[in-house]
Amino acid sequence: MKTSRKTDYAVHALMILARNKKKELSVKELADRGNVSSSYLAKVMQKLSAAGIVSSAEGKKGGYTLAKNAEEINLAQIMELFEAKDNVFECVDDIRGCSIKDRCKIHHVFAHAYQKMLAELEQTTIKDIINPEIKKERV
């Protein structure tokens, strides 16, 4: 699955914040820890703040913290925030759509696969992915 750099930066920044509970971290600190561009990350953090996922405090000692517990932030929320309505399968997304979906044999398969992927992302929280133990497959 291909995701944007914004989604990648957001998930990694949220993981860093979750590991540093209650400690405000500046964009520069987050960027340094994540080895990413601070100017690009600043835009990502602004969007996360506007969505109520992180809280920000201004000033010299200001920075970002999680606005919610790590177990309340799932990967689907982040994907929806940064990926808009793009879909892994172009023929089933809300932007490009498909003009032959009613007679296409594979459209239903792709649509079903996409829904399963979203369900998995909805069940996977930031807390799940900061734990070094790999999450077992759900049945």
| Domains of the chain with CATH codes | 5-66 (1.10.10.10), 73-130 (no CATH)
Torsion of CA 14, 20, 24, 27, to 10 degrees: -50
**Measured between alpha carbons, how far is residue 128 from residues 14, 69, 115 in Å?**
12, 12, 20
Task: Give the sign of the dihedral formed by CA 69, CA 70, CA 72, CA 76.
Answer: positive
Q: Which of the pair, 99 or 4, is modelled with greater confidence?
A: 4
pTM of the model: 0.82
Q: How far is Cα 102 from Cα 83, in angstroms, rounded to an integer?
A: 26
Instruction: Tell me the pLDDT tens digit for each residue of 19-73.
Output: 998 799 999 999 999 999 999 999 999 999 999 999 999 887 789 999 999 999 9
Q: For residue 66, give the 3-state DSSP assignment.
A: strand
